[in-house]
Amino acid sequence: MRHRLLLGIALLAPIGPATAQQHPPAPSDADRRAEATVRQMTQAEKIALLHGPVVAMVPLAKRLPGITVGAGYVVGIPRLGIPALVETDASMGVANSEFLRKGDVATAMPSTLGQAASWDPEMSRRGGAMIGAEARDKGFNVMLAGGVNLVRDPRAGRNFEYAGEDPLLAGTIAGAQIAGVQSSGIVSTVKHFAVNDLETGRNVHSVAIDEAAMRESDLLAFQIAIEKGDPGSVMCAYNKVNGVHACENRFLLTDVLRRDWGFRGFVMSDWGAVHSSEAIVAGLDQQSGEQLDGKRWFSDLMPAAIAEGRVPASAIDVAARRIVRTIYTHGLDKRPNEARGTIDYDAHALVSQQAAEASMVLLRNEGDVLPLVATARRIVLIGGHADVGVLAGGGSSQVRPVGGFVLEEKGDGLGFSKRSYVASSPLSALRAALPGADVTYVDGRDPAVAAAAAKAADVAIVFGEKWAGEGADQPNLSLDRNGDALIAAVAAANPRTVAVLEVGNAVAMPWRDQVAAILVAWFPGQRGGAAIARVLTGAVNPSGHLPVTFPAATTQLPHPVLPGANAIPADAASRAVYGLLSDTKPFAYSFPEGSDVGYRWFDRTGAAPLYAFGHGLSYTRFRYSDLRVAGGERLTATFTVTNIGTRAGVDVPQVYVRRSGKAKRLVGWGRPALAPGESRVVTVTADPRLLADFDGARRRWTVPKGRYAIEVATSATAPVLTGSVVMNAVTRRP
């Protein structure tokens, strides 16, 4: 059976908001109301909107009444009907460490990197709507979601919070999540602006990158996320960019964000990222978590800065107006900001489980050992605390899940970055899914005992882990706790070994060719154990594809040695706690890869990765045919995908474009769900920015006239259909 359906995912807007500078938008009702409201404010009331504390660090007697304890709050102005802004950390759900709200629970989504592995923006939108609804019902009206920093180094501690290495994929997934969060009637941020890709010395390091490289990579990811999600706020980052702190970087906050992109919300700082009152002149509107900064630049010290002429009074008006306009735009003034009703955690858990199932990436499946079938009567699970739960990432984004953590251990990084396990047992889920099988568990602490158990089983499923958390980068790509040796020992004892990886980053796999199957489960969230079991047993056909490149070795990376490793105290190196040490020396580093992040770097250098960006297997097979391409002003690729296997499945065909002398670029993808024998037509229309160079001197995107090579592929290194097209020269504003 054959159907024609247009499925492609790509940006269809012109190259950037070309008219933002030439033709400013007409004032909206929110603009007019905000202007009128700010005119009625005293200077003290305006300044009150520009700063907020970490709630948990405020003595109970001094807290604003009725405020839900979260990341922070900003007082409102009751006489003018301006509500307080009550903020929660986010991305994987409503963050709720014991430091913040003892005993609170929320639905834990899979890691954002896992959600990006689904390549499914609609799934991200649904997840965003769910976590936004929980935030609203817990009494919050601002959610610090929308992490879109590109994954430039697989050792970076917060990669699990972000959406991969490609600007189109990352921006699309993050933008969908932001739109979902805000559909629940609250404000979302996009963060951390910009080029904030390492935890090592994050408060003291500076990244050096030229404008063209930044525009074509990290900034493009933010631009796409903002276009897709329309966030109410942008959160600026800790690091310096070209020697200037991100939160007082006029180029980023004023020239790019407001002048070129036409952003009309407000900019808040990350918690502890402000260094002067004058940052408001550069484009920062709000100091967040002010106790974590050296001084209260936007509160106690602001009146003196105004009086001394270091900050013009008009800058206070502008910042207050942006904040109030955002409140009006998103209707925060029309809804009571208080905890309300009961939350349907069962329904929300299903959203999380479906996202986890869509995120899992089958990297290898020799001999079709998966899915598990009835002939596998004796199955042993080994390691990873798979008897009780699944691993979660750590830091300010961590969600204490419904049912709590079944196990918590100290982790490197921030004090609240604990190595925690969600109470969703793969062992229990597999036993329920395979009632006729003998499914047992061995903890894996002794590789010899594990090998003996594996040898006696029909199939051995060994869990490899690599924990990640805010405040710490990782010294290598090896699995934690001698996990590589454990998998090798199990595989040597049983050729039908399946490795399940609960990881927040790409990892090395020295044992890859010894195991029959590899499933990347990421940090799978609230019902991660059930999701793993459903994929292993075939109740769900895996459809995830890698959102990052898995390198064969760190020597293939632009920085074989992690930047800043020599700047940390010698006694800290062995602990891999690089991020927040107060005695870390300032350092600077640059990007040899420029805009060629991830798979583009591998394409440029010719290095063969362990597993390529975009790779992912299915329990069925797909055939591609009938490629047709069109050029001129707009590049379009149309092709047919057919399911030639015996199972229904979802495919993710990817379209890459290469220009002479340049690394290939992803320009779009499809995600057809196909029954056996079914065909569908996929059309991808490329956003010209993905083909263009950015000319910093002229502030223009330029698509050169010429012939462009087209690849329809199953990954960045596996083209299936090829073609070429001639493009006209196109030039646009940013």
Instruction: Please enumerate in sequence order all residues whose Cβ is within 8 A of that of 368, keeping only pairs 6 or more positions apart, or say none.
Output: none
Instruction: Please enumerate in sequence order all residues whose Cβ is within 8 A of that of 523, keeping only pairs 6 or more positions apart, or say none.
Output: 92, 110, 111, 114, 160, 390, 391, 392, 393, 502, 503, 504
**What is the per-residue pLDDT across 463-481, written as a single tens digit (0 to 9) for each?**
999 999 998 899 899 999 9
Contact status, residue 712 vs residue 654, Cβ threshold 8 Å: yes
144 vs 592: CA distance, rounded Å: 31
DSSP codes, 237-286: -SSEETTEEGGG-HIIIIIIIIIIT---SEEEE-TT----TTHHHHT--B
270 is a catalytic site residue: yes
Q: Report how far Cα 410 is from the mean position of its chain's Cα atoms.
A: 24
Return the domain boundaries, the chain.
29-334, 348-537, 554-605, 622-732
**What is the per-residue pLDDT across 356-403, written as a single tens digit (0 to 9) for each?**
999 999 999 999 999 998 778 999 999 999 999 999 999 999 999 999
Q: Which CATH fold would you assign to the domain 29-334?
A: TIM Barrel (3.20.20)
Q: Once rounded to an integer, what is the mean pLDDT over residues 533-538?
A: 98
Question: Does the pLDDT at position 99 exceed 80?
Answer: no
Q: Report how far Cα 528 is from the mean position of its chain's Cα atoms.
A: 18
Contact status, residue 206 vs residue 252, Cβ threshold 8 Å: no
- DSSP lists the bridge partners of residue 440 as 380
Classify 56 as helix, strand or coil. helix
Q: Which CATH fold would you assign to the domain 348-537?
A: Rossmann fold (3.40.50)
90 vs 77: CA distance, rounded Å: 26
Contact status, residue 620 vs residue 362, Cβ threshold 8 Å: no
Question: Does the pLDDT at position 582 exceed 60?
Answer: no
Q: Report how far Cα 97 is from the mean position of its chain's Cα atoms.
A: 20
- Would you call the peptide bond into 192 cis, given omega within 30 degrees of 0 as the criterion? yes
Q: What is the predicted pLDDT for the residue at 27?
A: 81
**What is the per-residue pLDDT across 699-733, written as a single tens digit (0 to 9) for each?**
999 999 999 999 999 999 999 999 999 999 999 88
Q: What is the predicted pLDDT for the residue at 254?
A: 98
**What is the per-residue pLDDT across 591-646, written as a single tens digit (0 to 9) for each?**
999 999 999 999 999 999 999 999 999 999 999 999 999 999 999 999 999 999 99
Smallest CA-to-CA distance from 363 within 117, 8, 677, 92 is with 117
Classify 347 as helix, strand or coil. helix
CATH number belonging to the domain at 622-732, selected among 1.10.150.120, 2.60.40.10, 2.40.110.10, 3.40.1160.10? 2.60.40.10
Q: What is the predicted pLDDT for the residue at 645?
A: 97
**What is the per-residue pLDDT across 295-349, written as a single tens digit (0 to 9) for each?**
999 999 999 999 999 999 999 999 999 999 999 999 999 988 877 778 999 999 9
DSSP codes, 643-669: E-SSS-EE---EEEEEETTS--EEEEE
**Catalytic entry in 89, 153, 218, 270:** 270
**What is the per-residue pLDDT across 119-175, written as a single tens digit (0 to 9) for each?**
999 999 999 999 999 999 999 999 999 999 999 999 999 999 999 999 999 999 999
SS (H, E, C) 167-198: HHHHHHHHHHHHHHHHHCCCEEEEEEECCCCC
SS (H, E, C) 75-114: CCEHHHCECCEEEEECCCCCCCCCCCCCCCCECCCCCHHH
Question: Does the pLDDT at position 14 exceed 50?
Answer: no
Q: What is the predicted pLDDT for the residue at 45?
A: 98
